[in-house]
C-alpha cells in the first residue's frame, strides 16, 4: 500500500468539512484591496508519529492535514489558513503528492 492509497483511505474514512482561507488582492497594484476568500475542502487531520517530531521542523503540537483534491479549485500555500471544526490553523508546510505531475492530495503541516 503506497502513501497515495493510504491517504485516500484516511481522507475517505476520517475526512470532514473544512475551509481553506486565502487572502486575495484585487484592484490596482499600488493600492490593492485584500479580501479573505474561503474555499470548502475535505480534510482529514491526524497526528504525526512521535518518532518524526524533532521539536524544530515538526513541533510537539503540529498536526498533518490531508486535503482531498476532489473538486478543489485552488492550491494551498503557507500564506493560507486552514479552519477545521472551528479551529484556525497556520500552515507551516505544504507538500502535494504528485507522483505523475498531477496532485493526488495535499499534505499540510499545521499548528494553532
Q: Where are the domains of the chain?
A: 3-111
Which has more confidence, 3 or 100? 100
Distance CA 13, CA 26 (A): 38
pLDDT, tens only, 22-52: 999 999 999 999 999 999 999 999 888 887 7
CATH number of 3-111: 2.40.10.270
Q: What is the mean pLDDT of the chain?
A: 88
What average pLDDT does this structure show over 58-67?
A: 91
Which has more confidence, 92 or 103? 92
Give the chain's count of helices (H) and strands (E): 1, 6
Task: Provide the pLDDT for residue 4.
Answer: 62
pTM, entire model: 0.83
Distance CA 44, CA 3 (A): 14
Contact 68, 15 (CB under 8 A): yes
Task: Provide the pLDDT for residue 102.
Answer: 79
84: Cβ contacts below 8 Å, ≥ 6 apart: 16, 18, 19, 43, 45, 65
Distance CA 62, CA 20 (A): 17
Q: Is it the case that residue 69 has pLDDT exceeding 60? A: yes
Amino acid at each position: 500500500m503506497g502513501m497515495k492509497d493510504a491517504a485516500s483511505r484516511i481522507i475517505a474514512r476520517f475526512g470532514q468539512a473544512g475551509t481553506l482561507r486565502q487572502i486575495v488582492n484585487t484592484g490596482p497594484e499600488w493600492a490593492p484591496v485584500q479580501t479573505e476568500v474561503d474555499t470548502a475542502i475535505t480534510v482529514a487531520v491526524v497526528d504525526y508519529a512521535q518518532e518524526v517530531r524533532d521539536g524544530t521542523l515538526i513541533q510537539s503540537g503540529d498536526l498533518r492535514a490531508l486535503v482531498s483534491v476532489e473538486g478543489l479549485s485552488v492550491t494551498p500555500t503557507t500564506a493560507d489558513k486552514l479552519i477545521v471544526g472551528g479551529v484556525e490553523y497556520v500552515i507551516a508546510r505544504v507538500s502535494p503528492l504528485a507522483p505523475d505531475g498531477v496532485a493526488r492530495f495535499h499534505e499540510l503541516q499545521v499548528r494553532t
